[in-house]
Structure 1
Amino acid sequence: MVTLFSLLLTPLFTPSSHASEANPHSISFYPVALNHTTYITNTTQGTHGGIYSAPAHRASDPDHDDRYNYCTMPHPRPETYVAPEPVANGSVEATLVYVEYMQRHQRRTPYNLLPERQDQEYTCDDVHPHIYAAPAPDKHNPAPIPVYGQTYTDPTNPFLTDTIPGTCQYPQLTKGGILDGYQHGRDLRDVYGGDNPLPDAGPSSQVWLRASSSALTQGSAGAVLRGLWPDYNGKIALRRQAEGIDTVDSGFTCAARDRVLEQMKGARAWREHLGVTMLLREELGKMFSIGWEKEEGAWMTSFDHFADAFQARVCNGYRLPCRAKKEGEKEGDNCVTQEQAEEVFRAGDWEWNYLFRGSDLAREYIQLVGSLFIGEIVRRLEAVGEGRRDWVYSHNFVHDGDLGPVLGALGIKALRWPGMAANVAVEVWRADGDHEAFYARVLYSGQTVETIHGPMEWMPLGELLEILRGFVLGDIVSMCQD
């Protein structure tokens, strides 16, 4: 029997032995068996060389091998960054002229709260989410007081037993996530600043900064941008679209998108993965009193909710959840085990790969989810290829549901769940001596992305654009009304 004491002694999700092989990044990022449900049920996979742990209330330590790390995905950093191979070996002289950077927000608390009360508090007292508005600069109006939110619980609140005890708004960034953001920005400054396109002093008119309408992406931006420009004292405009029509985070209504997703989840492969995980879902459902009723169905028909609830704990220094002990139960009788969590995480990987790579409907789904965002990226890259200097650096703070379609459109060889701060960098290089020759390299979490088209290490910009244009719809409004 697994006891609470034994759980506390068990290391949280240390990488499996696969990570010691020749190329740990490639091994942990691109599971060969990810198209098969045996990937989920094969317990020898463990975490497939990935990392699912991060410290509480402080920044993550960088992993020497830049392995898949759900809690803090690797990113371009000076210790490991090298120029594209033809430039590094001297066969081509080229200048980096543009960077299109997309990243998921930093680590956070959970979206999905297990319905049974848990026995460990989740605290966020060391984070101050600011919630004030200010008028545009006007000498006649004083600046508002910087108000921030501080969560508390009234002990007389009768609904107190229905949530995780603690001081967090769910979801919100954690202190560790914010500190990771500072480091993320500092590393990008070291890689893309100096003689490269990123301005050193602060944002210029040639820098595009954009976030979704979520506080998670906007808060992450504040941390990462401070790392990019540590001495900048001005205000920065972070572009965002209006809620209801946002082209990221599924911000616009699309009946066709929902229909295709329903079809994908009705297909044989999806039903098969639910079949092989039936016992696991029943065990977890019983543990936390989650049934098959309509309002609880999301917990039992995919692994999105369980994975999120577990990841948000181990990624912030907490142990896996234990249901608060009831009368007659022993300590630790209702605790999620490491083996259960690993299977949940593998199932989450399988689901993401199925949605954006494995399903017969993946291409159509990518178009309906990501067409507008991918189109924005394409237009900026086209402008660079035409020799225009509208932008030299673009940074988009978005979500896993935005990176999935981008990586799927690129044809990533295998897609694990894009973890916290997962990132895609599209570098555009101009061959010196010929201003019309532009080449692209695409990095995923700091390394050249491996795709069905081959490694995207050095390719004519036009070829990359042709790949991406295939996922940009001409009339998505009409298609969404289908």
Structure 2
Amino acid sequence: MANGVWNWTFLLCLLAGRASGGAGTLASPKGVYNSSTTPTDLPWNTYNYCNAPHVNVEHYIPPRNAPDAKLVYLNTVIRHHKRTPDNLYPNENELNSMPWDCANFEQFNYGGGGAHVFHKTVSPPWHPFLSQIWNGTCDEGQLTEGGLQDSIRHGQDFWSVYHHELGFLTSVSQQDIFIRTSTETRTFQVASGLLVGMDPGMASKTFPVTTQPSPIDSIPPSYPCPNADAIRTAFQSVPAWTDHLEANADLKARLDATLGTAGLDAWASWYDHFFDTFSSRTCNGHPLPCNSTGACVSQADAAKVFAIGDFEYNYIWNAAENATAYSQLDFGVFMLELAQNFKLFRSGQDPYKLRLYVGHDGTMIRLAALLGLGAIAPLRWPALGSELVMEVWESGKERFVRVIHEGLPVTSELAWTPLDAFIERLEKQVPANIMQACLGT
């Protein structure tokens, strides 16, 4: 342990199978999984699942190949910050020695023109189904007070760079900034935290946040695409995938025995749910789950789950055969939106200087994969607050795009590429007639 923070260094079991032209490899990821603050004895850009490294004035690197260039436009996509677990064990209450408390900040939700009501979550001790949720004042998947504070700090760091670089006014303006989120409440709340971080005066003001209808929202994404689902089913039915499930059967048996998840398909097909329930606890200062017999999930088993999660996310969205085709179908609509944004800017018709999106881990992994970041290095599970910034710089009469991932410029042609080439790159990730491609036979 370093400064009270887990600094995971471990080896994952051999994961056999094909992955972008090679067999499965041993992974030894490092990272922080139980604090929003990265210890000072680690590099500032260390992978921190609880609070990803992001653009900040102390470490921002201006373009070095065009020192006279001027920043003129931004599209930025981030993942929401810390929340409660989004998945529940069959007997969730039994496995929580520490109640979840969300009473430390008010959850406002009201109609314009109505009273400024806020809601409180209560788990009544008399409720017949109380075993299925924890004691406390939080709902599943709810932004925690720590997540809100991380959002505010994220906004401060973002503004510390781009307020100057992009020439914003001294305060946040609806004329300069467009914000879109998913339909999940936590993404609205993160947007509100970012805004207050950028401009403390926003705490007493309103600001529009755009969403798409939930059945066709492209951010999670949630629009129907059975042909994408079929591709994913196929590449999760081969040894490249199934071997890692078999190799970790003992781990799965231990977790099932402790958590009561045996026989549940959602907990058997991949380690997503285990990853979520462990990391949400550790990031919010909760212990790993223990059942009524005293059996607990060990730190070693949690570490192994985190490593397996990295493998699974990289495999599904980056390394599997047909992973690109899968992501193009189920994330092509969002890539189309980005392409339209940059084309609008190119034509001089985008009224905004910044388009800011708040999404989820699925948003970030798909975007990183389709931009080609997985060709630089294997992708990891996108951390809370994960950030991807697409800057447009003007140098003379030419415009260039620079992509910054988790606070650092990417080390590929996306470090400095002509705007036209970047738009073409985005459009190549959008299947022709994408609705028919998703739904057609």
Q: 2:300 aligned to 327, 332, 339, which one?
A: 339
Deviation at 1:251, TM superposition (A): 2.1
Q: Which residue of 1 aligns with 2:73?
A: 98
* TM-score, length basis structure 2: 0.90
Deviation at 1:115, TM superposition (A): 2.1
Q: Which residue of 1 aligns with 2:381?
A: 417
Deviation at 1:130, TM superposition (A): 1.3
Q: Which residue of 2 aligns with 1:183?
A: 153
Q: Give deviations 1:179-231, integer Å, cap 9, x for gaps.
A: 01111001111100035244432223242211111101111101111111222
Q: Give deviations 1:324-370, integer Å, cap 9, x for gaps.
A: x23xxxx4xx1111110111011111111111110111111111121
Deviation at 1:60, TM superposition (A): 7.7
Given that 2:220 and 2:359 are in contact with CA atoms closer than 8 Å, whether structure 1 keeps it comes out as yes
Instruction: Quote the Cα distance in structure 2 between the aligned partners of 1:197 and 1:260.
Output: 45
Instruction: Quote the Cα distance in structure 1 between the aligned partners of 2:417 and 2:6.
Output: 37
Q: Give deviations 1:155-187, integer Å, cap 9, x for gaps.
A: 221222232222211110011110011110011
Deviation at 1:98, TM superposition (A): 0.4
Q: Which residue of 1 aligns with 2:288?
A: 320
User: What SS does structure 2 have at the residue aligned with 1:109?
Assistant: coil
Given that 2:149 and 2:193 are in contact with CA atoms closer than 8 Å, whether structure 1 keeps it comes out as yes
User: What SS does structure 1 have at the residue aligned with 2:108?
Assistant: coil
Given that 1:197 and 1:393 are in contact with CA atoms closer than 8 Å, whether structure 2 keeps it comes out as no
Q: Which residue of 2 aligns with 1:223?
A: 193
Deviation at 1:467, TM superposition (A): 2.2
Distance 1:234 1:163, change over 3 A: closer
Given that 1:101 and 1:394 are in contact with CA atoms closer than 8 Å, whether structure 2 keeps it comes out as yes
Given that 1:356 and 1:404 are in contact with CA atoms closer than 8 Å, whether structure 2 keeps it comes out as yes
Q: Which residue of 1 aligns with 2:261?
A: 290
Structure 2 gap ranges (5+):
12-18
Q: Which residue of 2 aligns with 1:174?
A: 144
2:10 is aligned with 1:39: no
Q: 2:227 aligned to 242, 256, 259, which one?
A: 256
Deviation at 1:399, TM superposition (A): 1.1
Q: 1:303 aligned to 271, 283, 287, which one?
A: 271
Q: Which residue of 1 aligns with 2:181?
A: 211
Q: Which residue of 2 aligns with 1:111?
A: 86
Q: 2:7 aligned to 14, 25, 32, which one?
A: 14
Letter in 2 for 1:375: L
Instruction: Quote the Cα distance in structure 1 between the aligned partners of 2:153 and 2:39.
Output: 10
Cα RMSD after superposing both structures: 2.5
Given that 1:107 and 1:173 are in contact with CA atoms closer than 8 Å, whether structure 2 keeps it comes out as yes
Instruction: Quote the Cα distance in structure 1 between the aligned partners of 2:144 and 2:119.
Output: 14
Letter in 1 for 2:246: G
Distance 1:174 1:131, change over 3 A: same
Q: Give deviations 1:72-127, integer Å, cap 9, x for gaps.
A: 0011001100201213xx4xx21000011000111110011122321332222213
Equivalences, count: 425
Which has the higher mean CA deviation after the structures are superposed, 471-480 or 225-234?
225-234
Q: 1:271 aligned to 235, 238, 242, which one?
A: 242
User: What SS does structure 2 have at the residue aligned with 1:425?
Assistant: strand
2:318 is aligned with 1:357: yes
Given that 1:99 and 1:197 are in contact with CA atoms closer than 8 Å, whether structure 2 keeps it comes out as no
Letter in 2 for 1:382: K
Distance 1:281 1:439, change over 3 A: same
- Structure 1 residue ranges, 4+ long, deviating more than 6 angstroms after superposition: 32-35, 59-63
User: What SS does structure 2 have at the residue aligned with 1:209?
Assistant: strand
Q: Which residue of 2 aligns with 1:128?
A: 106
After TM superposition, list the pairs within 5 Å mapping 1:46-195 onto structure 2.
48-54=29-35, 64-87=43-66, 90=67, 93-116=68-91, 117-118=94-95, 119-135=97-113, 144-195=114-165
Deviation at 1:38, TM superposition (A): 4.4
User: What SS does structure 1 have at the residue aligned with 2:32?
Assistant: coil
Q: Give deviations 1:46-80, integer Å, cap 9, x for gaps.
A: xx22111126xxx8888752111111001100110
Instruction: Quote the Cα distance in structure 2 between the aligned partners of 1:455 and 1:13.
Output: 35
Deviation at 1:33, TM superposition (A): 12
Give the percent of matched residue pairs that are identical in Structure 1 and Structure 2: 28
Given that 1:220 and 1:397 are in contact with CA atoms closer than 8 Å, whether structure 2 keeps it comes out as yes
* TM-score, length basis structure 1: 0.83
Given that 2:335 and 2:430 are in contact with CA atoms closer than 8 Å, whether structure 1 keeps it comes out as yes
Which has the higher mean CA deviation after the structures are superposed, 466-475 or 423-432?
466-475
Distance 1:176 1:60, change over 3 A: farther
Deviation at 1:387, TM superposition (A): 4.4
Given that 2:87 and 2:277 are in contact with CA atoms closer than 8 Å, whether structure 1 keeps it comes out as yes
Instruction: Quote the Cα distance in structure 2 between the aligned partners of 1:197 and 1:285.
Output: 54
